[in-house]
Structure 1
């Protein structure tokens, strides 16, 4: 599995760690850069309920091979650039001189 990004939605089950006998949904805030055993990592994020609402903020220690990426975080799209401001066209007077 490649690097995890903020916003990734994961399913964390017993294959990730014995504490997750009952699987949980987990929204990643960040992958912590802490020294761990090979193949394991610390994740900081939110445990979600079945409706996708955060119920607890947690830091979890899991085997990378045991987590399932359900939905990657949406990638930001650049905002459209505004059109350059246009100067008003100068109005030419069409008044005719009387003879």
Structure 2
């Protein structure tokens, strides 16, 4: 990939982009911003999120990489939304006090 990345791009950052990401330190990276800061020719600062194998962001990082070593990542699955484990509130749970019978010794203030 010799084209400058854009926000939203999904990249594989490995040893081709920088030796610090070689081997098991390779990242799947979602670009958030691309710095305009001057750098050495062919290098670039990227800010984004490291994604796990489920497509969930695990860390925000700023990385300094070679443009020529960047590759578009194969798409990862969309993050799953957490399931709500709580049931819907019943009519008697609305908090209006109508569902609770009056008990001796309790009174509203």
Normalized against structure 2, the TM-score is what? 0.62
Runs of 4+ in 1 over 6 A off after TM superposition: none
CA contact (8 A) 1:45 1:59 kept: yes
The number of residue pairs the alignment matches comes to 72
Unaligned runs of 5+ in 2: 76-109
Higher helix proportion: 2
Pair member with larger Rg:
1
CA contact (8 A) 1:40 1:62 kept: yes
Structure of greater relative contact order (alpha carbons < 8 Å, 6+ residues apart): 1
CA contact (8 A) 1:17 1:66 kept: yes
CA contact (8 A) 1:8 1:71 kept: no
CA RMSD of aligned residues (A): 1.5
Normalized against structure 1, the TM-score is what? 0.68
